[in-house]
Structure 1
């Protein structure tokens, strides 16, 4: 029954009938799980309470990304990229990779999917180059470039607290895998989309406008705060909240945004979906999910070792789980099984972050990316997405895990 509830929630999230939000299915499913005794209220409350800071951070960083967009940050980045590539598709792909990798790392994968993707596609259209490679680049890097910082992905935030690592310690171990994954993706993209990249641009890019210095300054201070905050006992969530308050307050004073827009940018229904999904996943874990994962994971059960075969095995299991049940539920089920072993947890993150590039259903970001593309005229198919994933995921995941092992 628990597996059926999770399957129904994920199927609804993929299809989103009538455009209804994912919480429409997740909240009733969580209620059914509680009513039928599939999950104890105490366990459900404990899992929900553990997510408090994570969900608050998610809302804050989504609001920061939205307010930065309102201030013109993403439009300015697109204009700079368009001017710098000089109408050359290969150069545009490289710059798009750079913009998407940095945006994902600093502002999370949702900012790349929702805000940067339309800008990159508009830049490509304005230059007269084919947009398909750049569209796929945003989707892939929203996943594979989300391994660098604890704030880059909701999965990272969930594992960060359990890892016992500091912000800089986490980033220091993951910078190698992050560089490797992005480099592999770029090399494969250059080959896979060679035909699309042959066509040169036919239009001159417009001159970029003035830089949105205030918003860029706030983002820079926020990034510094993420790094320095733990040294003085300030968690990343409060740094993000402070940045959201500063940008939001300015936007309200200047009437660039409304209170309703600010609340909407916090994605309350998405946050509610995450909480409800946690309850459903706990029910699955208590009814065979946790035992199944323990059986298929490598090691002696404690997973205290950080040998290369163990790390590769954990990453592979995590990648498969992400593509079967989506990366967020996979992370929620894997964390209690893996325990507080930093190297193993980071290998798991590589699996649930890079692995979803194999299928549409692998991550919420990819599902969101498909909806963003719906009104752009750029056509993608599940077959092509999977074909590209088969070329990138095994190689990038393996080499990223090797880089992690070397760092450890």
Structure 2
């Protein structure tokens, strides 16, 4: 059964990576989940329990995807692009630093999907309009969609999957992960400044005039209010999905009235097929976690919270994310660590599954999305560049982030 479970996970992931004819991932994931239940890899009860546990997480995912779309419709990302161009004053190194700030904050607040899908075109366009090389800035968005997604429970689907298992409140999770988040970003920036030093030399004159753009005040206020809402949600026992949904409604109503979006676009933005894929993938991975492979991984993971144990947990998670992809790796590792695992181990796992995917194209769905978006913008990524950059940043950021976590806990 374990071989069949592994084969089902592999088939689902290969299809999700290749996506022939741009078919949604659910096309293979749903039949795989059904097969897993029919042949007994997963019992009906286990499948029901997995879907029930994932429901709040998937609901939040849909809400935050809609919120990100509405932020874009209200001009948030166009405004960011203009702000970056104006503030960089023709200096590529300064633009890179500003891109790091913008991508890190976008990833933290609106999730890595918003960074990849919506911020990538804005950043590439800003660099190109400024007459600068787009390479360092495009790769920065890709890396930060992963490495800047550790700080809030809402920043990444992997965080949400681990959040409930930690037993921490929203603010506790954020307090523990703030230092690792900052450490990883700083290390990443230093590496980028050296790695892309040839692309960042000198100053350039703006080939295109900068058209002033008013700040989207309403959208920024509502996003800020949502962030505050996420912080207090744990104290008033309100699920983060309700906060995100309320913020989405607050932006959707004026957006539809102004004609910058429509009900159809909002439904499409929720990406319901991908949400269904998460449910199906959870069922398939449950079969893997419940078998010998899950037991082997559980025995492999440390149980203490020493620096060595935290680093080992993060390293195992990073390797798993590049072998399985970080989403199924998270599902497998959360199950392997068990309900009684120390929160520090779960947080180290989050660091591993978020930073590890910067090593390979298959490490996370975000990187796969970034490749498609960058290619559509005429900036096709190079495998050699991505791999060489990841080989440097992943080990360094893992050590820095885990070190910061160990000092905090």
2:70 aligned residue: 67
1:225 corresponds in structure 2 to 229
Task: Report how far residue 202 of structure 1 moved.
Answer: 2.8
User: 2:392: which partner in 1?
Assistant: 391
CA distance in 1, matches of 2:201, 2:401: 30
Q: 1:201 aligns with which of 200, 204, 209?
A: 204
Distance in 2, matches of 1:321 and 1:208, equals: 46
Q: Which residue is equivalent to 1:162?
A: 165
Structure 1: give runs of 5+ residues left out of the alignment: none
Q: Is the 8 A contact 1:356 1:362 kept in 2?
A: yes
Residue number among 125, 128, 131 corresponding to 1:128 in the alignment: 131
Residue matched to 2:122: 119
Counterpart of 2:289?
285
Residue 230 of structure 1: how far off its partner (Å): 1.9
* Per-residue Cα deviation, 1:11-48 (whole angstroms, up to 9, x for no partner): 11111111111111111111111121111011011011
Please give the per-residue CA displacement for 1:331-352, whole angstroms capped at 9, x wherever unaligned.
0011122134210000000000
In the other structure, the counterpart of 2:381 is: 380
Give the structure 2 partner of residue 87 of structure 1: 90
Whole-Å separation in 1 of the counterparts to 2:348 and 2:329: 13
**1:269-348 alignment to 2 at 5 Å?**
269-298=273-302, 303=303, 305-339=304-338, 340-348=341-349
**Secondary structure of 1:362's aligned partner:** coil
Distance 1:253 1:207, change over 3 A: closer
Q: What is the aligned partner in structure 2 of residue 7 from structure 1?
A: 10
Which deviates further from its counterpart, 161-170 or 226-235? 226-235
Kindly state the Cα deviation for residue 330 of structure 1 after the two structures are TM-superposed: 0.5
In the aligned structure 2, how far is the partner of 1:101 from the partner of 1:242? 24
Question: Which whole-Å CA distance do the structure 1 matches of 2:106 and 2:211 have between them?
Answer: 22
| 1:103 and 2:106 matched | yes
SS at match of 2:210: coil
Alpha-carbon offset, residue 288 of structure 1: 2.3
Say if 2:324 and 2:363, in contact at 8 Å, map to a contact too: yes
Q: Indicate the residue corresponding to 1:400 in structure 2.
A: 401
Tell me by how many angstroms 1:199 deviates: 4.9
CA contact (8 A) 2:162 2:334 kept: yes
In structure 1, C-alpha distance between the alignment counterparts of 2:272 and 2:136, rounded to whole Å: 32
> In structure 2, how many angstroms separate the alpha carbons of the residues matched to 1:196 and 1:10?
35
- Contact 1:83–1:208, Cα closer than 8 Å, also in 2: no
What is the aligned partner in structure 1 of residue 150 from structure 2? 147
**Preserved CA contact (<8 Å) 1:89 1:200:** yes
**Cα distance per residue 1:43-96 (max 9 Å; x no partner):** 011011001110010000000000010000000011001100011110110000
* CA distance in 1 between partners of 2:265 and 2:158 (Å): 26
Match of 1:354 in 2: 355
Query: Are 1:251 and 2:262 counterparts?
Result: no
1:189 equivalent in alignment to 2:192: yes
**Structure 1 residue matching 2:290: 3-state secondary structure:** helix
Give the CA deviation at 1:287. 2.8
Map 1:233-244 to 2 at 5 A: 233-244=237-248
After TM superposition, give the deviation of residue 328 of structure 1 in Å: 0.6
CA RMSD for the aligned pairs?
1.1
Gaps of 5+ in 2: none
1:315–1:352 Cα contact (<8 Å) kept = yes
- Which portions of structure 1, spanning 4 or more consecutive aligned residues, are displaced by more than 6 angstroms? none
**Contact 1:132–1:379 at 8 Å: present in 2 too?**
no
